[in-house]
Chain A
Amino acid sequence: MADPRHPATVRLTHWIATLCFFALLLSGMEIVISHPRFYWGEDGNSLTPPLFKIPIPASRSTVPTGYNYTLPDQNGWSRYLHFQAAWLAVFIGLVYALYGLFTRHFRNRLLPDFSWQAISTSIGNHLRFKPEPSEDYNAVQRLSYLFVIFILSPLVVWTGLAMSPAFVSAFPLTVITLGGQQSARTIHFFVTILFVLFLLVHLVMIFLTGFRNRMRAMITGRTKEHV
């Protein structure tokens, strides 16, 4: 069995990523409030029928929301914070990815046993709320982490950049392949929903498996057994 302790690089990048996550989520929600309508394709605005809309008031009076009041505009600092946090998240993500590749952290700790037996056992354990026998990450956990690290994270950066008019002027395929700027914005929103779902399950699992112990493991690197 591999050493169950979290390496220092993983702990450090985990908490910086956590900080970025909440900064991005909060500022992203503020930005969405200025126009809580979503479209598909290149263009869409208050005069266009939306693909769907979030039933909340907006921070701009020009958006037809059905509410007769507007929320305070928070987009200025939200946009500054969103991009600053995105830069930090990308840097820390690269540090983590290089670390994971070169130390074989991904291969040893995150790559699951892809046999149907191992995966179905792990799913069965989850459905019965049965603790996993090992200190190692189980198969479902590994697949979730890999999905977040290698699918959701690159996708959220890509769809974010595909909304930048200057970035797509240099790399037009990044937005064309997504079907347009408004499609990129809509996908960005759904990727965020998946991130939030991951966070909720992640938190539930931490509470179910012992909050104090899991927090200690991610802060000091030690679990109870090592004290």
Chain B
Amino acid sequence: MNRRQWLTAGISTAAGAASLTVAARIANKYGLIPPDHGGIYGPGEALTYASQRLLTRHSLAREFSRSQISKTPFPNGEPPPLEAYQRLQANKFAGWRLAVDGMVARPASFSLDELKAYPPASQITHLACEEGWSFVAEWIGVPLHHILNAAGILPQAKYIVYFSIQPEWWDSIDMADALHPQTFLAYGMNGGALPPGHGGPLRMRVPRHLGYKSVKYITRLTVTDSLKSFGKGLGSAAPEAGYSWYAGI
């Protein structure tokens, strides 16, 4: 290479590095960096999350007609073999509670009846597993934003962390998903109560994500501005098991 080529290469490398730094800073400011952005797959993960967040902040998951509801919704697993769960189930889940805490003005706890007292909403949406299979079902529940409004989320809130009665299952979503009109706390399915195999009595339903984000048997929500203090700080149980936090693809 001659001197001019070296100079051009040097200037473009410096410009490239500078614009990457600026891009990373802007992305961070607008909440476009996922919690599992470290490691060798961090760049791909950050690109996917940032681009999908920019393209899909307010988009609605496709809704289907009643005739498109799957005849064979696959439950993917048995109800948890936990004594605490079985005791609640024996009592028709009358004692099931959903706790809401963290960055809220009024920490609260809801029974299923209290959740059902909110105007019920329903959606007929597609649930796709990361493995490749899927089904379409009607989900009935209360939009999560109603519950968040009831508890009064503080302005610095950035994520909602949700926990299952199964200690190995917990996850989190950003505010774009948490306040999204189709993000439900679902207690019904296809016209009836949510069956235990599908997460009954209460599951999260996040239709713009793959199925593993729709965690079953929800008992607690925590509102937070940082995911660092939850588990290994990667945002959910999924990255700790090698799966991505963001599941929009």
Q: Point out residues on A near B: beta carbons under 8 Å.
A: 31-32, 34-35, 37, 39, 42-48, 60, 62, 75-77, 79-81, 83-88, 161, 163-170, 172, 175, 181-182, 185
Contacts and interface: CB of A to CB of B under 8 A. Distances in A.
A143 B174 CA distance: 47
Interface stretch (B17-25, B47-55, B103-111, B164-172): B47-55
Contacts of A35: 129, 131-133
Nearest to B53: A166
A83 B134 contact: no
Contacts of A77: 41, 242
B151 interface: no
B249 A164 contact: yes
Contact of A169 (B61, B76, B131, B241): B61
Which of A76, A77, A185 is the most central at the interface, judged by chain B CB atoms within 10 Å of its CB? Answer: A76
A-B pairs with lowest CB-CB distance, top 5: A76-B242, A84-B44, A166-B248, A47-B72, A80-B41
A80 B76 contact: no
Given A76-B241, A84-B45, A43 B59 contact: no
B29 interface: no
29 contacts: A32-B132, A34-B131, A35-B129, A42-B64, A43-B134, A44-B133, A44-B134, A47-B74, A60-B131, A75-B130, A75-B243, A76-B241, A76-B243, A79-B244, A83-B45, A83-B249, A85-B44, A88-B44, A164-B248, A165-B207, A165-B208, A165-B209, A167-B52, A167-B249, A169-B60, A169-B207, A169-B208, A170-B55, A185-B132
A76 B35 CA distance: 16
A64 to B, nearest CB: 11
Contacts of B47: 87
Contacts of A34: 130-132
Nearest to B246: A166
Given A42-B126, A84-B44, A169 B136 contact: no
A76 B242 CA distance: 5
B8 to A, nearest CB: 14
A70 to B, nearest CB: 12
Contacts of A37: 132-133
**A-side interface mostly:** helix
Interface string B68-91: 101011101100000000000000
B43 A43 contact: no
A172 B62 CA distance: 7
A181 B126 CA distance: 9
B218 to A, nearest CB: 20
Contacts of B133: 35, 37, 39, 44-46
A76 B61 CA distance: 24
Contacts of B241: 76
B128 interface: yes
Nearest to B62: A172
Given A83-B44, A166-B248, A42 B132 contact: no
B126 to A, nearest CB: 6
A65 to B, nearest CB: 13
Contact of A168 (B48, B62, B74): B62
Interface in B188-219: 207-210
